[in-house]
Structure 1
């Protein structure tokens, strides 16, 4: 059940990588799960085919004005040819989303974990993705909205107050 997360967003690459490494260190995520960085000049090579060939699920976060590049065209063709389930959340692009093999409710939950941010949501993103593949229906905590502005106190209900 190798899960790959691919992104061109530096902060997401760092945070998802930290969550992935932390879960692997705790023995909660398979060692072959990984986070991969795509650069604007990335080329589709045999190395990319080798990385993706044994994947059970590929989750992609793309930020930019288009996903219509040679790299993504070849990547998508490869995943579809090899029947690798994937989902691409392409924020800011004209195309929006692309994917195959995941049900819409599962995609929505994964998007919430990623959108809400924070290390716990990122760890739960991985655990939820893993539970989708394992069929074990592992109980993973639901995505939790984080307060981005307001008064924070760890003992307060909701941990944050935004209005008096």
Structure 2
């Protein structure tokens, strides 16, 4: 049966040909193995060095209304956490790159507010809180997010039906 052959290969790989504790002398296929014949079986598999996660600056916007509901947004499918709902977020680095196309002076970058970028992107203007929250850090396998939180109140916004935003009671 084809399944038995596949299972035998998997058993061979886990019991005799494992990467951590190879037993090449016990292998029934040792005479077909170039690494065994050359005496180089201890050099395989070649381990790739782990890449450091790429740092990404994120601004997350925690917006609520007078009913105690929070505004959530569905993340794009092509991005990390695609399809999941979260508070609206903007990658700070992307905003700075877009500004760099027009004016790369440090003074210009300092004047730009992430809140203004949010208002421009979403076409809404919340009443922002002055409260400062500690940054949140989360590491994925290939990205390290440093998240800055901004809180605001927004009562005059109704997400459109085709929009990927919704008011949610938590």
Task: Report the TM-score when normalising by structure 1.
Answer: 0.22
Task: Tell me which protein shows more strand as a share of its residues.
Answer: 2
Q: Which has the larger radius of gyration?
A: 2
Greater fraction helix? 1
